[in-house]
Structure 1
């Protein structure tokens, strides 16, 4: 496994000893097809062929392997129908078939696999309805994923039999009808993903039983009605995406609804109320019917008498405000209705002490960024001032404004407002006012000199994993969850900003490009959707195909992410002096896999550990709200933990290498990256806590 074996899978594999119990050939470069006589290996309990280039049909003979417990066919190029003979594998506990090209319907015979714990059929070309026999398979307790297919029909009510299931993902299909009431019986669910379908109706009240939910995504459907208040009672819910539906009425304020970074509501035009940070309109108050007319008159008469005074006062305040704005020569662009009031040029000058060099905190693609303190309320912000003398800067300003009109995500840098005005010399002035990121850029944390970065302030492994997941989540949102697919085009450590809790926010959309999505599938952009632009990005992070004239695509962002991920864990940038004479950071790390990963990762990561009595609950198991430790602990972790730590780092580097593959077609999509990185982090947390943490 993971040896880079190439060539065709030999048919003689089927002639190996019938006593063979485990055959694992995963993560290699093998092609060809599974031999028709694979059923000869009747004592096989585990067959691992994942992560190769195998294709063709899966032979029916595979159903003869009735002792098989684990079948891994994922991440290949298998096509044709899923053989119904898989239903004969009654000992099967794990079945992974995701990221292939399987077609046709899901065979109902899979319901015969009464011991199945996890099933993944995602990212194929499956059609037809979800079989009731499968969705009601009560043995499923870890995960059932059928996302990114073209499944139709309703979600069968038999889903209520999945009482032990931890994750249900049927996102990005063509499912219709209502969310079944029976789903409320799945009381062990931690992750529920129904997004990107055509579900309608209201959120069933029965879902109030799903108190263990950590993630719930029902975005991009046709759901309506009010958002139920019981969702605010879910204590462990960390992510709730309700965006792009038809919800209406007052948004609750408790629980998850009190955390603006944990909830997405964009695209629900009839919502009101909620916490102030969400900037929804105030809910209108219905006038109560009263039988006591006299009491009503006592209220109405004073209001009517004071109305002329209120109107006059309003006109006076408005006139003063307009005059003040006129004196400041400021015209504030507000491309998103949720943005705060704009700032004048003079206010920004005062906030930055005249754009003093002491307040300069960085330079972007088309301008400089200053730290500022707004005089009126004392808020600390970052102000990006565009250098309009540079070609393309004005268009960059427009592009960023367009991007910010439609996107909002916890891991994207939030823009407060935009300012388009005239400076004191009469020149055009354009700027974006952004939230200030207390901990600066990822680049500063990765590449500070030893004198600037004391040992206690190095990024820990868990912080690096969390940041990597944050960045991947941001790209997944841009690529797969926006109304129009967005390609960032300039992902690099200096464009990843860290807030006071070390949560990562991707910024600088000056080079962002929009991809018009296919009309027949608005929620799932394909990797080859492109627009024609020139070479864009930063040296070292630009995918090689851009240099050969290829068009911009989301796979270009994937390449940049792969380079960034490898950089985060090796501590070496792609333009490091050691990378010359044809040696790249991709080649340097790829050559170290799988047995020499310790030779290329940052040495301090191999010695990092926590005291056994450390309160592990301080490390958030999903988000990355982990606080910076005052000191880092370094000691020999012991041979067993060292081996498992090496496996964790190996997995991370493998993802980086896969994402930065030379051929775009070999790169992972960002939704796959997010899932894999989350699994690696969960495994690492279990390593640290000795398995005490339950996910």
Structure 2
């Protein structure tokens, strides 16, 4: 029976065999729309058993008609067929937390017995079907976390029996319908995270049984209607991140006595914090950040809230500017469940009270940055044994840091910077073995750097700059190998040399020892810091030459060695560091001819002042000519004539061999895996409000992609105008939170030019009181490799074809990143979800691997075979990146491969004689263009001297088949027997580096 017949058939009465057959055919039609089924749920949907026994299907025991379809969290990919409307006895559908897409069929309106419809946490698009209005028995309608657009249809006003209405986290527009106020049975209303405008309808005040009310993260304006505050049954109240104004009702705790969560941050509320909140005795979360609240904090009344867990008053204008502003803290000691207290960015002017030590021992986060707080840190700080985050930066605190701070064994982030602390840095900080970020810069600390800091082997960022520290840099501290964000020791009075043990900082991105009294030569071991992007040695007493070992710093972007005593010639390799954008060698004693490539061609990024004996260089630098340079200087760039077939074969063999070799697991012993941490920020913090602003409230127009665990939006950070990609985790999706942790663990410990660069993270609470986690990356202008390999018709017309040489370059980039992850990390990392959609291309078409949400850390080698087996079988991910896909243009799951064929055997069957039959058609067009091209391109491939990447030239059509055979043969070398013949990947990468 065809789908068209199913859609138009008139169903017989219940219990008839024809009616049962109709249900069976609908289910088979549903199964046909499923394209991915990783848990093999659909295997049971066959004729060997009755359809009432199929997984997820429940039938009436007598009539055998389908009553419910329950397929939550099965990772199914597919769409809902229109024939679903023929299951007219259906009372419930639950497809929550899958990957269904497409528009919702209007035929859902034929399910007039439907009581529960839950399609949340999928990727449904289009408008909400108006015909759902015919499902008048609906009690539960949950469509949250999809991509639905348009207004809420007025036709839905007929659903008068609704108990739960969840439309949040879509892209709905228009205004909030006032007729929702007619749903007298409604107890939960969530419509936040959309693009609703206008005011909150006062008619919603008629929902006298409402328990959960959230309109957060919209564009709502005006005042919250008094009728809403009068719904005494409300326990969850969420209006955060809108443009709402006015004052909070002074009697809010009396008129909302059942409050458990109150979220109103990110608005324009003014006035005082109502003391009446204390009457809501079950209140657990009170979040009012980023408003214009003034006055004092009603501590005495808030201290009566024994169930209080989170209190956030950050970024307001609280405080009187007089002594006593922090007296309220002493009352909060009665809140024995308090876990988070945020008072940052206000106008509190008071001495830091000793009563902080009496706060709940459950406290994990205490942030008081950017206030006018003075005094010193009391020894009682050691009582807060569960603190993971303590921040008092940008205040006027003074005195010594008590040794008792070393009792905070769980502390992960400590922010003491920009105060007036003095005395020695406590050696007890070495007891904080969970510490990942330590900031004590901008104070008056003196004495030597405590070697005990070496005990903090999880440190990612250490900032001791702008103090009065003296003595040498301890070998122990320079050897903290976990440091990967930065080590900042600048503007102190440190002496001695830069220790050779700097080689242990193999993962550090920034090293700054400028503005000290350091001397001696640059240690050759600095060349081991291969992830270094920024190196600052200026304003010291260093001498000698720039060591040749620094040519290994291929990720270097900025280098300042000015105002030292360096001499000799500036090495040629400095011009070959392709990422170097800023170089300052001023005020030294360099001599000889200046290199003429790379950074030395960019006068705006180069400073060579006051090096009296330099010569040559580009004319814009104004240096004198070098009279002693021979006419046949060997420095000239030789551009060899390379025969195209040989170049293609060699490049493909090297690049793809490296890629395949690095896909195998290394058997070398590795260190223990890095552990989880608290993710307040990466380099500089970003707030939830800033992310909302930067993405236009996570609007549909800014959406650039979505996956199993969240969505990615294009944004512009308001603080500095940087264009970024914001990945927002869908924490309602099972595994998303673990995905966030895995991605942060992986990215915090790796740095490579072909890995997607993370700018910052945000771990906060959204305006509905839910956990919010996101990662902010560099924006990749050219999108993913997937959209280049498999463009839509519109995309095809808007961009150029991906050439063969570009594909080879991308393969080299991917192989380089994988080789680093597998063989050069302290703990080997396996990506587990490598596919074209996770390979991002920047403006120069350089590839960067992203999305480490499924990454695995390989433990040390074990003698236990069962453990090794468990380790390997645990590595799971999407069917994804296979080398031939880049050259055939076919997905691994492409139906055109034929029944039972993988892309592997599909390609193997075609080579060598039929390779041109399976090649991506766009490469054939390239070959035709090449045949017609000028003869001067016939026997050469040009090399770019700056980036060391092949130019995007044309490949001759009559040689293309030879090149592709070489490429695809390497791409097919997957099994372990073939891998043994490749043996040593390091040798291959040595060849690659000299390509």
Per the normalisation by structure 2, the TM-score is 0.38
Indicate the residue corresponding to 1:266 in structure 2. 393
Indicate the residue corresponding to 1:149 in structure 2. 267
Indicate the residue corresponding to 1:220 in structure 2. 345
Counterparts in 2 of 1:33 and 1:395: CA distance versus 1, 3 Å: farther
- Secondary structure at the residue paired with 1:362? coil
Match of 2:216 among 52, 73, 98: 98
Indicate the residue corresponding to 2:641 in structure 1. none
Match of 1:247 among 344, 369, 373: 373
- Superposition pairs of residues 98-137 of structure 1, within 5 angstroms: 98-136=216-254, 137=256
Q: Deviations over 1:627-653 (max 9, x none)?
A: 9999998999xxxxx9xxx9xx99xxx
Counterparts in 2 of 1:16 and 1:194: CA distance versus 1, 3 Å: same
Which is further off, 264-273 or 359-368? Answer: 359-368
Q: Indicate if the aligned counterparts of 1:184 and 1:207 stay in contact, CA closer than 8 A.
A: yes
For residue 155 of structure 1, report the CA deviation from its aligned partner. 0.9
Looking at structure 2, the residues matched to 628 and 487 of structure 1 have their Cα atoms a distance apart, in angstroms, of 43
Looking at structure 1, the residues matched to 779 and 560 of structure 2 have their Cα atoms a distance apart, in angstroms, of 16
Q: Indicate if the aligned counterparts of 1:247 and 1:271 stay in contact, CA closer than 8 A.
A: no
Match of 2:312 among 175, 193, 197: 193
Number of corresponding residues: 460
Match of 2:362 among 226, 231, 236: 236
Q: Indicate if the aligned counterparts of 1:247 and 1:268 stay in contact, CA closer than 8 A.
A: yes
Match of 1:65 among 165, 183, 189: 183
Which runs of 5 or more structure 2 residues have no equivalent in the other structure?
1-118, 404-413, 424-468, 474-486, 504-520, 538-548, 564-583, 593-605, 609-661, 692-716, 727-739, 761-777, 789-797, 800-828, 879-995
Q: Indicate if the aligned counterparts of 1:110 and 1:134 stay in contact, CA closer than 8 A.
A: no
- Superposition pairs of residues 41-440 of structure 1, within 5 angstroms: 41-136=159-254, 137-141=256-260, 143-181=261-299, 182-201=301-320, 202-203=325-326, 204=328, 205-233=330-358, 234-253=360-379, 254-255=381-382, 262-275=389-402, 278=416, 281=420, 341-344=492-495, 346-349=497-500, 355-357=523-525, 360-366=528-534, 393-394=558-559
Indicate the residue corresponding to 2:19 in structure 1. none
Match of 2:666 among 437, 451, 467: 451
Counterparts in 2 of 1:426 and 1:134: CA distance versus 1, 3 Å: farther
Q: Indicate if the aligned counterparts of 1:211 and 1:235 stay in contact, CA closer than 8 A.
A: yes
Looking at structure 1, the residues matched to 183 and 126 of structure 2 have their Cα atoms a distance apart, in angstroms, of 25
Looking at structure 2, the residues matched to 148 and 458 of structure 1 have their Cα atoms a distance apart, in angstroms, of 38
- Secondary structure at the residue paired with 2:337? coil
Q: Deviations over 1:364-394 (max 9, x none)?
A: 335599xxxxxxxxxxxxxx99999999624
Indicate the residue corresponding to 1:22 in structure 2. 140
- Secondary structure at the residue paired with 1:363? coil
Counterparts in 2 of 1:42 and 1:125: CA distance versus 1, 3 Å: same
Looking at structure 1, the residues matched to 239 and 493 of structure 2 have their Cα atoms a distance apart, in angstroms, of 49
Q: Deviations over 1:650-677 (max 9, x none)?
A: 9xxxxxxxxxxxxxxxxxxxxxxxxxxx
For residue 49 of structure 1, report the CA deviation from its aligned partner. 1.2
Q: Indicate if the aligned counterparts of 1:14 and 1:37 stay in contact, CA closer than 8 A.
A: yes
Q: Indicate if the aligned counterparts of 1:479 and 1:485 stay in contact, CA closer than 8 A.
A: no
Which is further off, 273-282 or 86-95? Answer: 273-282
- Superposition pairs of residues 456-467 of structure 1, within 5 angstroms: 466=676
For residue 256 of structure 1, report the CA deviation from its aligned partner. 6.8
Indicate the residue corresponding to 1:597 in structure 2. none
- Secondary structure at the residue paired with 1:151? strand
Task: Please report the RMSD computed on the Cα atoms of aligned residues, expressed in angstroms.
Answer: 6.1
For residue 476 of structure 1, report the CA deviation from its aligned partner. 2.3
Which is further off, 344-353 or 174-183? Answer: 344-353
- Secondary structure at the residue paired with 2:666? coil
Q: Deviations over 1:446-489 (max 9, x none)?
A: x9962257799567xxx6xx4694567964259959x9935788
Per the normalisation by structure 1, the TM-score is 0.52
Q: Indicate if the aligned counterparts of 1:103 and 1:125 stay in contact, CA closer than 8 A.
A: yes
- Superposition pairs of residues 464-543 of structure 1, within 5 angstroms: 466=676, 469=679, 475-476=685-686, 485=719, 504=748
Counterparts in 2 of 1:539 and 1:54: CA distance versus 1, 3 Å: closer
Q: Indicate if the aligned counterparts of 1:367 and 1:386 stay in contact, CA closer than 8 A.
A: no
Q: Does residue 5 in structure 1 map to residue 5 in structure 2?
A: no
- Secondary structure at the residue paired with 2:370? coil
Counterparts in 2 of 1:51 and 1:246: CA distance versus 1, 3 Å: same
Which runs of 5 or more structure 1 residues have no equivalent in the other structure?
285-320, 326-335, 370-383, 399-418, 431-446, 515-533, 549-567, 590-599, 609-626, 637-641, 651-695
Looking at structure 2, the residues matched to 126 and 225 of structure 1 have their Cα atoms a distance apart, in angstroms, of 31
Looking at structure 1, the residues matched to 229 and 854 of structure 2 have their Cα atoms a distance apart, in angstroms, of 47
Q: Deviations over 1:401-445 (max 9, x none)?
A: xxxxxxxxxxxxxxxxxx999999799999xxxxxxxxxxxxxxx
Looking at structure 2, the residues matched to 166 and 189 of structure 1 have their Cα atoms a distance apart, in angstroms, of 4
Q: Deviations over 1:566-624 (max 9, x none)?
A: xx9963457799899xx9999999xxxxxxxxxx974979xx9xxxxxxxxxxxxxxxx
Indicate the residue corresponding to 2:89 in structure 1. none
Q: Indicate if the aligned counterparts of 2:150 and 2:173 stay in contact, CA closer than 8 A.
A: yes
- State which structure, 1 or 2, has the greater radius of gyration over its C-alpha atoms: 2
For residue 87 of structure 1, report the CA deviation from its aligned partner. 2.2
Indicate the residue corresponding to 2:955 in structure 1. none
Looking at structure 1, the residues matched to 741 and 154 of structure 2 have their Cα atoms a distance apart, in angstroms, of 53
Counterparts in 2 of 1:635 and 1:249: CA distance versus 1, 3 Å: same
Looking at structure 1, the residues matched to 553 and 831 of structure 2 have their Cα atoms a distance apart, in angstroms, of 37
For residue 217 of structure 1, report the CA deviation from its aligned partner. 0.9
Q: Indicate if the aligned counterparts of 1:92 and 1:113 stay in contact, CA closer than 8 A.
A: yes
Looking at structure 1, the residues matched to 231 and 368 of structure 2 have their Cα atoms a distance apart, in angstroms, of 34
- Secondary structure at the residue paired with 1:192? strand
Counterparts in 2 of 1:489 and 1:15: CA distance versus 1, 3 Å: closer
Looking at structure 2, the residues matched to 635 and 43 of structure 1 have their Cα atoms a distance apart, in angstroms, of 54
Q: Indicate if the aligned counterparts of 2:235 and 2:259 stay in contact, CA closer than 8 A.
A: yes
Counterparts in 2 of 1:122 and 1:393: CA distance versus 1, 3 Å: same
Counterparts in 2 of 1:95 and 1:85: CA distance versus 1, 3 Å: same
Looking at structure 2, the residues matched to 323 and 69 of structure 1 have their Cα atoms a distance apart, in angstroms, of 66
Q: Deviations over 1:241-271 (max 9, x none)?
A: 1111111112223237789972111221254
Indicate the residue corresponding to 1:295 in structure 2. none
For residue 282 of structure 1, report the CA deviation from its aligned partner. 5.6
- Secondary structure at the residue paired with 2:246? coil
Looking at structure 2, the residues matched to 454 and 127 of structure 1 have their Cα atoms a distance apart, in angstroms, of 60
Counterparts in 2 of 1:225 and 1:467: CA distance versus 1, 3 Å: closer
- Secondary structure at the residue paired with 1:235? coil
Looking at structure 2, the residues matched to 163 and 457 of structure 1 have their Cα atoms a distance apart, in angstroms, of 46
For residue 235 of structure 1, report the CA deviation from its aligned partner. 1.1
- Secondary structure at the residue paired with 2:332? helix
